[in-house]
């Protein structure tokens, strides 16, 4: 079974790789950002609730995020596996994901940890910001995001390492090369 998480720092290519790996394994790539946008667009109850927090400039509480993930994992296409991108983001969400999957007699099979040198990531993100005209992404902001990522995800990675399911993959290089490294790590 392929119930996977992809974790990595900003700029490591998680979203790109999630789509490629999911296509290869014939499972859905499930991004929490996509779940939020879909629920808001379709004006579901959870979408309306999330939008009220977002519109007031607040973070969407874990309870809303957890319920959206639970609903998404209940959809038919996720019955035989999935690749989650952007969830869990904290220890409480790790435990909630465990509970969601336990209700189905399932568990996470593998955690793909994309690793990359911070200086390389800064260069990559500055380049992307220039290409997309994102003036808010300067080196100071990017380095702060990388620091926050390290602080917030280190405890999650530790939990999954204890379970022996983390596979580290070098996230730098050509997209196809990284995809090949991930597939090799999964085999």
14 carries an active-site annotation = yes
Q: Are 54 and 82 in contact (CB under 8 A)?
A: no
- For residue range 114-130, what is the model confidence (pLDDT) as tens digits? 999 999 999 998 988 88
pLDDT at residue 167, as a whole number: 96
Q: What is the CATH number of the domain that holds 18?
A: 3.40.50.300
pLDDT at residue 69, as a whole number: 94
pLDDT at residue 57, as a whole number: 78
Q: How confident is the model at residue 159 (pLDDT cuts 50, 70, 90)?
A: very high
* Structural domain for 92, as ranges: 2-186
Residue 81 annotated as binding site: no
Phi, psi of 3 (to 5 degrees): -110, 105
Residue 9 annotated as binding site: no
Residue 60 annotated as binding site: yes
Count Cα atoms within 13 angstroms, Cβ side, for 29. Answer: 19
Partners of 82 in the β-ladder: 3
Spatial CB neighbours of 156, under 8 Å, sequence gap ≥ 6: 7, 88, 89, 90, 91, 94
Residue tagged active-site, from 38, 70, 145, 167: 145
- For residue range 80-100, what is the model confidence (pLDDT) as tens digits? 999 999 899 889 999 999 999
Q: How confident is the model at residue 33 (pLDDT cuts 50, 70, 90)?
A: confident
Residue tagged active-site, from 104, 128, 147, 163: 128
Q: How confident is the model at residue 132 (pLDDT cuts 50, 70, 90)?
A: confident
Residue 76 annotated as binding site: no
Residue tagged active-site, from 48, 134, 163, 184: 134
Residue tagged active-site, from 3, 14, 20, 110: 14
Specify the pTM: 0.87
């Amino acid at each position: 079974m392929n119930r996977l998480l992809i974790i990595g720092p900003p700029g490591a290519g998680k979203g790109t790789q999630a789509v490629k790996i999911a296509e290869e394994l014939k499972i859905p790539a499930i991004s929490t950002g996509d779940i939020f946008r879909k629920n808001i667009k379709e004006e579901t109850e959870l979408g309306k609730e999330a939008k009220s927090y977002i519109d007031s400039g607040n973070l969407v509480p874990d309870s809303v995020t957890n319920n959206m993930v639970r609903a998404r994992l209940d959809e038919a296409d996720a019955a035989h596996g999935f690749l989650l991108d952007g969830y869990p983001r904290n220890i409480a969400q790790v435990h909630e994901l465990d509970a969601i999957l336990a209700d189905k007699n399932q568990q996470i099979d593998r955690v793909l940890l994309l690793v990359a040198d911070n200086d390389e990531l800064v260069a990559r993100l500055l380049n992307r910001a220039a290409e997309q005209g994102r003036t808010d992404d300067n080196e100071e902001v990017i380095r702060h995001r990388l620091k926050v990522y390290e602080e917030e995800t280190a405890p999650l990675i530790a939990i999954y390492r204890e379970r022996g399911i983390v596979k580290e993959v070098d996230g730098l290089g050509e997209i196809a090369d990284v995809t090949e490294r991930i597939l090799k790590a999964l085999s």
